Structure 1
């Protein structure tokens, strides 16, 4: 599960960075605000990759997915990308657990 979730988070890292570039064109937002928010979200993506085995990490990941969707209020395309990454996050958790269970079953049979 960690591999699939990490892959999703790294993909989000890049999408958030590109969304920050698009948001810079918004005259209502200062560059400092855009890059503070984008930088924190990008750092959270990378840090969360390392904490995926810990308790509460998946909940933080879900919060990040919601924040990504809500960022569509600033950059309209993010509504669509937020839905896509929310689906990828769900699939990473769902299928990652199935893979982990299959690996444990195979290891138990081999032993």
Structure 2
């Protein structure tokens, strides 16, 4: 799960940066745009390292909601935020399934390597 979620977060890092460039064309100051974008970009990178800790998934959902809401500043972000929210859900959902399959496979390998006397 961590690999899929981290990949999604790194993709978001770049999208947030590009959205910041687009937002600069609006009537917001550059300082405001890059403060908000910088915090969101930093959060997306820090979350990559925090994915194994409690609460990281919930913080990731908050970031997804913030990305969708950023559509009020850059309208394209309504779509891109929804796409990344879907990717975030898929990363969590399918990542857990992959982790469960890996654990089952490792248990089977351990039993097979123990030999017939272990059973």
How does the TM-score come out when normalised to structure 1? 0.99
Q: Once the two structures are superposed, what CA deviation does each residue of 1:12-36 show, in whole Å capped at 9, x if it has no partner?
A: 0000000000000002x11000000
- Provide the aligned length of Structure 1 versus Structure 2: 110
Q: Which residue of structure 1 aligns with residue 41 of structure 2?
A: 42
State how far apart, in whole Å, the 1-side matches of 2:99 and 2:29 are. Answer: 44
What's the TM-score, normalizing by structure 2? Answer: 0.92
Residue 68 of structure 2 aligns with which residue?
69
Task: Tell me what 2:31 maps to.
Answer: 32
Greater Rg, structure 1 or structure 2? Answer: 2
Q: Give the SS at the match of 1:101.
A: helix
Runs of 4 or more, structure 1, over 4 Å off, are none
Gapped runs of 5+ residues in structure 2?
A: 111-119
Aligned residues: CA RMSD = 0.3
Q: 5+ unaligned residues in a row in structure 1: which ranges?
A: none
Partner of 2:80: 81
